[in-house]
Amino acid sequence: MNLHPRYVRLLAAVLTTALITGVVAGCGEGGPEAGGRILVVGIDSADWDIIGPLMEEGKLPNLAALVESGVSCDLHSLEPKQKSPTIWATIATGKLPEKHGITDFLDPHTKSPLTSNVRTARTFWDIIGERDMTVTVVGWLVSWPAEAVNGYMVTDYFRYSPRPDRPLPEHLTYPEDLRDEVEPLRVASEDVTEEDLDRFIDLDAAMTADEAQRLPVEQMFAEMRGISELEHRANSLRGILAGDRTFLSVTRHLMQHRPTDVSIVYLRGVDTASHKFWDAAHPGEVGFPVSQTAFRVFGATIAHYYEYADEMLGALIDEFGDGTVIVCSDHGFEGPKPGQLPGGINDHGPIGILVMSGDAFRDGVRIPERSVRDVTPTILALCGLPVGDDMDGVVIEDAFEPAFLRSHPTGRVSTYERTE
């Protein structure tokens, strides 16, 4: 095992304390072992208010099964509202933005995209990788350029298709030569067919130009705009699907051919579909007119995309096999309110989701609201590792089986950050 000297000193201190008190992880009362195989699925913008009715209708069977077999709760996002990269960095580090350094999509001074080398706090996959747990990380926001991990990384930039005027950068993967292996798995927008779109939209329901011209003038212009936007909106859905299909395909491939102890994948489609089609699903609630065409064609797109996300979750679980599954989102979604500028974080809601299912967790229990800050400390506890005193989150202890906590009491270290 190749540990950084500082970490060896910290771990030695924790083990010494545990031996003195007679409580060493795995040596107490019987219970599930720490560590083991873990699948973490980040679904951007997933919201219980949408998930609940769909689960009741039996349309999200895979997520429903995890809720029934594990622990679930509201996951409070950062406030005031922050952009997704900032929140996902907090989820990955257990620290607030002022400690991890990812404060936006773009650097406020250069207006260039923020990159992984700007992050000033270590991630849970880096920490557990140093413990000799192997990891796979796919698509996490602000993961480019790829960092050296104890396993494999495919960065968020990998989803973009190269163009003559926009060649893709280096360091899309770790190790670098992994890129050649996963390159054929990238799905481009043009690879998404009309048949692929049919399950999400109903183009046949669009109002025709002849029908629109028979409406009163104001309605007619609204419908003509709606008709003219059909192709653009359908193409935006192609891009959304291409990104998620890419990362789903890459993750499944790596699970099959390069299995690791921990697999981590980020799926963005629910968020972008919600931004693009919320108005169509909620006419009369968004503070601006929505055409009948938009409602007819795209009114069910968000619900259908949640169903697709559940299918992707099921495919990942099937490939993953036995182990612990954690599903979380960075925030919820409530759409633009009347008088509010639509788009961006204005559309986001303060409450996301957290579901954790596995031997270490309680069965079918709903627990009180927790914070996005608490995900990393809880994953560290699941792996039998102490929590950093400089982390802003805490272990979600009421999610665990009591026997697990007795066998693996929560420990503390001053920090996991490297100061040398």
Nearest-5° Cα angle at 46, 355 to 385: 35
How far is 385 from 124, CA to CA, in rounded Å? 10
**Percent of the chain with pLDDT strictly greater than 90:** 77
Q: If DSSP codes are grouped into helix, strand and coil, which group holds residue 299?
A: coil
Confidence tier at 177 by pLDDT (50, 70, 90): very high
Alpha-carbon distances of 30 from 34, 141, 404, rounded to whole Å: 12, 38, 8
Check whether 153 has a pLDDT greater than 70. Answer: yes
Check whether 219 has a pLDDT greater than 90. Answer: no
Q: Of 383-387, 388-392, 415-419, where does mean pLDDT reach its minimum?
A: 415-419
More confident site: 414 or 162: 414
CB 1 within 8 A of CB 128: no
- The phi and psi torsions of 42 (rounded to 5 degrees) equal -95, 120
Residue 420 has a pLDDT of: 64
Alpha-carbon distances of 367 from 296, 353, 361, 377, rounded to whole Å: 38, 12, 12, 17
Continuous segment of H or E residues that includes residue 254: helix 230-257
How far is 9 from 12, CA to CA, in rounded Å? 5
Give the CA-trace dihedral at 152, 326, 267, 125, to 10 degrees.
Answer: -30
Q: Of 27-31, 251-255, 267-271, 336-340, where does mean pLDDT reach its minimum?
A: 27-31
More confident site: 224 or 379: 379
Residue 158 has a pLDDT of: 97
Q: What pLDDT, in 10s, does the model give residues 3-54?
A: 443 333 333 433 333 333 333 333 334 456 787 899 999 999 999 999 999 9
**Domain extent listing, the chain:** 36-402
More confident site: 74 or 12: 74
For all residues of the chain together, what is the average pLDDT? Answer: 91
Confidence tier at 217 by pLDDT (50, 70, 90): confident
Give the pTM: 0.91
Please list, in sequence order, all residues whose beta carbon lies within 8 angstroms of the beta carbon of residue 277, skipping any fewer than 6 positions away. Answer: 233, 298, 301, 302
Continuous segment of H or E residues that includes residue 39: strand 38-43
Average pLDDT over every residue of 235-256: 98
Check whether 174 has a pLDDT greater than 90. Answer: yes
Range 3-15 burial, b when 16+ CB lie within 10 A, else e: eeeeeeebbeebe
Nearest-5° Cα angle at 371, 148 to 60: 85
Check whether 354 has a pLDDT greater than 50. Answer: yes
Which residues is 163 bridged to in the sheet?
A: 166
How far is 318 from 261, CA to CA, in rounded Å? 15
Average pLDDT over every residue of 315-334: 97
Q: What pLDDT, in 10s, does the model give residues 86-140?
A: 999 999 999 999 999 999 888 878 888 899 999 999 999 999 999 999 999 999 9
Class of domain 36-402: alpha beta
Q: What pLDDT, in 10s, does the model give residues 272-289?
A: 999 999 999 999 888 888
Output DSSP code: residue 181. H
